Structure 1
């Protein structure tokens, strides 16, 4: 401890010695020489051009963006919304936020496997999962309505994985 105090005292003394060599009484030297005048380049006289800004109809752009993107597909026996549909749902949320009078029906569907009641419940859970995603994106619940059709309205006829995959879906339809 005593050694630390001695080192600090020596450092403080060295700093003070270094400061004492600066002479503050003498003015700083100034060089006097002529300064050449600054010339501005001649700017060409032009007429101000009119802005060619076009107005953008955000509603029309959002309508066009969602025209072909109205289906969310699900895995077998699942009602988890996949990350790949995040962009689609964000676009629909922006569209609903822009058009407060617009409302969507979220129609949940299932493939042909399973009983009628089970598939109606699964379709409802899928539609409600999409509702939850849209409400998390700021869409009021008054603009979206979940409905289930179960296996009653298949998008594709067939009893194979390709057909079943197309039937496990939620369709976003304007009301």
Structure 2
């Protein structure tokens, strides 16, 4: 119980560090109070590209949602995870490491350019690249799955670079 609480606090701290990178500096550091976290549940909102993780604090019985981005974007014809999206992968990996029964699917997608077979293969490579990074971070094989939809499920309709950039992605979904 204490071991799981410590892991949850570590994951929460990791998420806060990632979130803090984009915020302005404060004159005085915020005080952090330690609490026992006993349960977690994950809900994915399809339209926002974020997952919400609800944690229940044993001492106050209040649910505190934490929102995680769940979309990783890629350059044209590439399956290398860009540095700017590594914190998303790390946050999901930390959450999965703490919740042994949780599973996620990395869904690889491409833009409309190129043949169907090529795009299915590229989408699979993108999904596997994200899964491999999570495994390196300590997530178990049984918690991860990589699938490809190629160009079959675009996030945005359109035939320009703006639409294509939003379609070259991996979406992390709770299973």
Scaled by the length of structure 1, the TM-score of the pair is: 0.65
1:135 counterpart residue number = 135
Aligned-residue offset at 1:60: 6.6
The aligned residue for residue 19 of structure 1 is none
Return the alpha-carbon distance in structure 1 between the equivalents of residues 117 and 41 of structure 2.
40
Task: Select which of 3, 28, 35 maps to 1:55.
Answer: 35
1:153 equivalent to 2:153? Answer yes
Cα displacement (A) at 1:87: 1.1
Give me the whole-angstrom Cα distance separating, in 1, the residues matched to 2:134 and 2:95: 11
Aligned mates of 1:54, 1:77 — CA distance in 2: 45
Give how far 1:86 is off.
1.5
Q: For 1:3-152, what aligned pairs fall within 5 Å after superposition? A: 55-57=35-37, 59=40, 63=53, 64-65=65-66, 67-152=67-152
Is 55-64 or 164-173 further displaced after alignment? 55-64
Cα distance in structure 2, aligned partners of 1:68 and 1:164 = 23
Tell me the distance in 1 between the aligned counterparts of 2:75 and 2:111: 10
User: Is the CA contact 2:68–2:88 (under 8 Å) kept in the aligned structure 1?
Assistant: no
SS in 2 for 1:79: coil
Question: After superposition, what is the alpha-carbon deviation per residue over 1:89-124, rounded to whole angstroms, capped at 9, x for unaligned?
Answer: 111111001111000011000000000000000000
Separation in 2, partners of 1:152, 1:92:
25
1:10 aligns with none
Change (3 A) 1:99 1:111: same
Aligned residues: 122
Offset of residue 68 of structure 1: 4.4
**1:85 CA drift (Å):** 1.2
TM-score normalised by structure 2 residue count: 0.65
Give RMSD over aligned pairs.
Answer: 2.0
Give unpaired runs (5+ residues) of structure 2. Answer: 1-32, 43-51, 54-64
Shift of 1:54: 6.1
